[in-house]
Amino acid sequence: MQTEKNVNIPERWASVLLGSALATYGLKSRSRGGFALSALGGVLAWRGATGHCMIYQALGISTNGEQRQGEQVSVPYGKGIRVEKAVTINASPESLYAFWRNFENLPRFMCNLEAVECHDSLRSHWVAAGPAGMSVDWEAEIINDIPNELIGWRSIDGSKVDNAGSVHFNALPDGRGTEVKVVLRYDPPAGLLGAAVSKLFGEDPAMQVQEDLRRLKMLVETGEIATTEGQPSGRKIA
């Protein structure tokens, strides 16, 4: 995520005009508050001129729908939160593809997923843990499937949670394993359901995906996930 354009054209013009006006007004007023206003104006104008908004970047949002066309994602680009993470795993693309292709394996390393049940080779039912003991569920279908290379899926129309994802398996040279890259996108709904979905992806969605991928790596490479939960300490006196 460098300085990609994540602001659309009309919004960029608005940003430049409003920013310049604020900057001019602020400077003219010659007060402390005026300088603060002009600084804000400057930032807005810069945002408009470059088309890159740091707040949008922090939030993972883009209003610029023109980019990324042609990139192989199973998700139409638009609003919502997008996360992309990669991990290198000491295993073949074949074995990793086979492991992931059975979606019922996903809850073994995605810590907020409770269960996935496959209806047939394309359709599946997902259940995720939400706050206060509630759970949220949706139906998903596989929309892209190239054996040993990539799998793409999305929630089917009418789901309570719009989300989509894809995983790419890239063999690395000279016995260096496989790069596993995951792209996830979801539209957080409002209200309680939104809170549940937010929990699913964690407070920091990128971190959540990274840690899920770390667990996948541990599971595939070693057959277990490293833990210290349940070990003794002086905090639990015998």
Partner 1 sequence: MKAVCWWGKTEVRVVDVPEPEILNPHDAIVRVTLTAICGSDLHLYDGYVPTMMRGDILGHEFMGEVVEVGEEVTNLRAGDRVIVPFPIACGRCWFCENRQWSLCDNTNPNAWMIESLMGYSGAGLFGYSHMYGGYAGGQAQYVRVPFADVSPLKIPDGLPDEKVLFLTDILPTGWMAAENCEIEAGDTVAVWGCGPVGLFAIRSAWMQGAGRVIAIDRFRERLRLAQSDGRTEIVDYSEVNVFDTLKEMTGGRGPDRCIDAVGMEAHGHFPDAVLDRVKQAMKLTFDRAHVLRQALHCCRKGGTVSIPGVYAGFVDKVPLGTAFGKGLTLKMGQTHVQNYTRMLLEKIMSGEIDPSFIITHRVSLDDAPEMYRTFRDKQDDCVKVVMRPAA
Q: Which residues contact partner 1 by CB under 8 A? A: 88, 90, 176-177, 207, 210-211, 214, 217-218, 221-238
Minimum gap (Å) between residue 199 Cβ and partner 1: 19
CB of 227 to partner 1, least distance (A): 6
Q: Are 75 and 150 in contact (CB under 8 A)?
A: no
* Cβ proximity of 123 and 116 under 8 Å: no
Q: Pairing state of beta strands 123-129 and 113-118?
A: antiparallel
Closer residue to partner 1 (CB): 61 or 206: 206
101 versus 214: smaller Cβ distance to partner 1: 214
What minimum distance in Å lies between the beta carbon of 36 and partner 1? 28
Toward partner 1, which CB reaches closer, 125 or 215?
215
Nearer to partner 1, 26 or 177 (CB): 177
Q: Do residues 181 and 175 touch, judged by C-beta distance below 8 A?
A: no
What is residue 186's three-state secondary structure?
strand
User: CB of 102: closest distance to partner 1 in angstroms?
Assistant: 21
Q: How far is the CB of 82 from partner 1 (least distance, A)?
A: 21
Distance CA 9, CA 65 (A): 10
Shortest distance, position 111 Cβ to partner 1, whole Å = 12
Q: 182 CB contacts (<8 Å, ≥6 apart)?
A: 83, 84, 85, 86, 165, 166, 167, 168, 209, 213
Phi, psi of 125 (to 5 degrees): -115, 125
What's the closest the beta carbon of residue 225 comes to partner 1, in angstroms? Answer: 8
What is the distance between the alpha carbons of residues 141 and 135, in angstroms, rounded to a whole number? 20
If the CB atoms of residues 191 and 234 are measured against partner 1, the closer one turns out to be: 234
Name the strands in the sheet holding 178-187, side by side, starting at the edge strand that comes first in the sequence. Answer: 81-89, 178-187, 162-171, 150-155, 135-146, 123-129, 113-118
CA gap 64, 54 in Å, rounded: 14
What is the identity of the amino acid at 30? R
